[in-house]
Copies of this chain bind each other. A is one copy, B any other.
Amino acid sequence: MNRYAVIMAGGRGERFWPESRVSKPKQFLQLMGDRTLLQQAYDRLLPLIPSENIYIVLGQQHLDLATRQLPDIPPGNFLVEPEGRNTAPCIGFAAIHILKRDSDSLMLAIPADHMIRGEASYRQSLEKAFFWAAKGDYLVTVGIRPSRPETGYGYIEREDSGMDTHPPVYFVRRFVEKPDAEQALKFIQEGCFFWNSGIFAWKPQTILRRIELYLPSLAAGLEKIGSCIGNQDYMAMLKEVYPKLPSISIDYGVMEHSREILMVAGEFGWDDLGSWGALDRIVPGDERGMKVRGNFVGYDNDNCLVYGDGGLTAVLGVRDLVIVRSGDVVMVCPKDRAQEVRKLVELCKNNKLEKYL
């Protein structure tokens, strides 16, 4: 069976505003190193999957950006969503394209904007996921062994014992939404709880059948689009149907209802880079915990993330802040409230300041 990958690059990355903008969401940024998150996601797949089998789902407004960042991917593999409708439509959309091209295929779906540390281990996990996806009509997910009692992620509870198989795999008992601190601590102690990474493998027809079962209106829309792939009505049909698809995540819409979900245990470093706080966890600091990018002067500061994209940032006598200067916007907030940056984005929308988004 042939392997395909779908990199989901339609996210808005609002919690990384103002570095992440409507015109250039975080997956297209060099948040770490000199490759963008999207490029890094692509690079990591290449040893497993040839570039002609890698698909990118994204918005029209980012197509130029993405094709420039990934010149080796065939133009036809950039699947443009007329409108972002969350991950269930995105995955279904990619599935119909892959199935149309190759009826004997396996499909991996990954987010474009995650941080991975330990690439060999990452690819081993993907190998295991592909192995089990090929074995039958399984939905296979990769759970990450938690390294801290994180309250910002969803969790997967696996069955106590693995199937007596090689490579090892577990049945999923349930998906758990973001826990409170007490629950999260319990999860980490029990050892059967893993972070829900949003990395999935399956046969296209397997996920499409589940969508039919749990999200029939989505299935009907995908059917209409699929029937036009390769003919001249495709764009018109896509533009008519896609914006009306139900906006729902694959987790809520399919995974949480399904049985026979398998989980591969990922032992690699992973972060969903959900906010500036996440970047702060990853970037190494100096002896006073200062993490600085860009031209900087300052003294007597502790434990701040200072992120400048040009110009100079000058800071004295502060602690535990995120200070971002990106283009025409400056953003300052305490680290432990970095999740709330989204509310600043809302405030911009409500105050006719969309030009800064």
Residues of chain B contacted by A308 (CB below 8 angstroms): 330
CA of A348 to CA of B321, assembled, Å: 22
Are B340 and A316 in contact (CB-based, < 8 A)? yes
Are B337 and A317 in contact (CB-based, < 8 A)? yes
Query: Which of A103-111, A235-243, A284-292, A295-303 is the interface stretch?
Result: A295-303
Chain B, Cβ-Cβ closest to A310? B328
Oligomeric state, in copies: 2
A331 within 8 A of B: yes
Q: How far is the CB of A174 from chain B (nearest CB, A)?
A: 35
Interface positions, chain A 287-342, Cβ under 8 Å from B, are 295, 297-299, 308, 310-318, 321, 323, 325, 327-334, 337, 340-341
A353 within 8 A of B: yes
Q: How far is the CB of A343 from chain B (nearest CB, A)?
A: 7
Q: How far is the CB of A64 from chain B (nearest CB, A)?
A: 25
Are A353 and B297 in contact (CB-based, < 8 A)? yes
Are A295 and B333 in contact (CB-based, < 8 A)? no
Q: How many residues of A contact B (CB 8 A)?
A: 36
CA of A295 to CA of B331, assembled, Å: 12
CA of A299 to CA of B332, assembled, Å: 11
Chain A 157-196 interface 0/1 with B at a Cβ cutoff of 8 Å (1 = within): 0000000000000000000000000000000000000000
A344 within 8 A of B: yes
Chain A 241-253 interface 0/1 with B at a Cβ cutoff of 8 Å (1 = within): 0000000000000
Are B344 and A329 in contact (CB-based, < 8 A)? no
Are A332 and B340 in contact (CB-based, < 8 A)? no
A214 within 8 A of B: no
Chain B, Cβ-Cβ closest to A315? B332
CA of A6 to CA of B137, assembled, Å: 89
A120 within 8 A of B: no
Are B315 and A348 in contact (CB-based, < 8 A)? no
CA of A356 to CA of B334, assembled, Å: 26
CA of A352 to CA of B139, assembled, Å: 57
User: Could you list which residues of chain A lie within 8 angstroms of chain B, going by C-beta atoms?
Assistant: 18, 295, 297-299, 308, 310-318, 321, 323, 325, 327-334, 337, 340-341, 343-344, 347-348, 351, 353, 356
> Could you give 15 example pairs across A and B, Cβ below 8 Å?
A297-B347, A297-B351, A299-B343, A311-B330, A313-B329, A313-B331, A313-B332, A314-B344, A315-B332, A315-B333, A316-B337, A316-B340, A323-B330, A325-B330, A330-B330
